[in-house]
Amino acid sequence: MSSNAFLNHSWKHPSFVPLQLLAVALVASICQPAFASSNCVNPGGKGGCHSTIAAAVAAASPGSTIKVAPGTYKEDVVIGKSLSLIGAGFSDTIIDATGLNNAIYVDGLDNPGLRNVSISGFTVENAKFEGLLVTNATNVTILSNYAHDNNTNLDLTTDTCIDPPPYLTGESFDCGEGLHIMGVSWSTFANNVSQNNSGGFLISDDTGETHDNLITGNLLKGNPYACGIVLASHAP
């Protein structure tokens, strides 16, 4: 596993984003063309918007921006194309993945060459495995999200993960944690909160080399079983 840059401060609240970093992280979404009504999501699908995030992602063209209104969305969102997914803020836009694998999965493993994905402004909670997972992708920006109470398939009585997906090749004591990246490069993970998962932020190489990422300003606390930030080298 090659280098990744860490500039985290446990005392720093995620709302305090360095202006230079914010400008870089949001440039993709700012420069997007005006979005059509089909690129919006709200509970009930009012005003021509989709009622689920997954439906909006499926309908979006590469390079689109999808804006998600406040509400609770009970789904596992899988992203396999370049796009920006923008919530109304993690206090208001919640993805509840109870009984589902992950809340948000940026899936470059099944979509080779995936790049230019931005996600900001969501709470991701109650997933069986990861709150927010990124595999085999480049130029990903994960900004100002809140991951909590994920890894619900961790059995503390046996220290094992129940029915882990095949990409979790090296995990037994946790099921992927609040945030998990593997095979990821040239990406930014800034000002996120990861709390009350088994672990805060897992950086591994299960599906490919993970290198040249900027991880800064994240708040990681109350993740008792697999530490705050872990860099792990797993088989294969």
Number of domains in the chain: 1
Query: Which residues are 195's β-sheet partners?
Result: 148, 221
What are residue 50's DSSP bridge partners? 41
Q: What pLDDT score was predicted for residue 18?
A: 52
pLDDT at residue 236, as a whole number: 60
Model pTM above 0.95: no
- Residue 236: asked if its preceding bond is cis (omega within 30°), the reply is yes
User: What does the pLDDT read at residue 24?
Assistant: 46
Range of the domain at 206: 5-232
Q: What is the CA radius of gyration of the chain?
A: 16
Instruction: State the Cα angle at 80 between 77 and 83, rounded to 5°.
Output: 85
pLDDT at 29: 41
pLDDT tens, the chain, 236 aa long: 456 766 654 434 444 445 444 444 444 443 444 444 459 999 999 999 999 999 999 999 999 999 999 999 999 999 999 999 999 999 999 999 999 999 999 999 999 999 999 999 999 999 999 999 999 999 999 999 999 999 888 888 887 888 888 877 666 666 778 999 999 999 999 999 999 998 899 999 888 999 999 999 999 999 888 888 988 877 66
State the Cα–Cα distance between residues 182 and 110, nearest whole angstrom: 13
> Would you say 40 and 56 are in contact if contact means Cβ atoms under 8 Å apart?
yes
Residue 85 main-chain phi, psi, to 5 deg: -115, 110
Tokens representing residue 57 in the block: 């992602």
- pLDDT on residue 215: 96
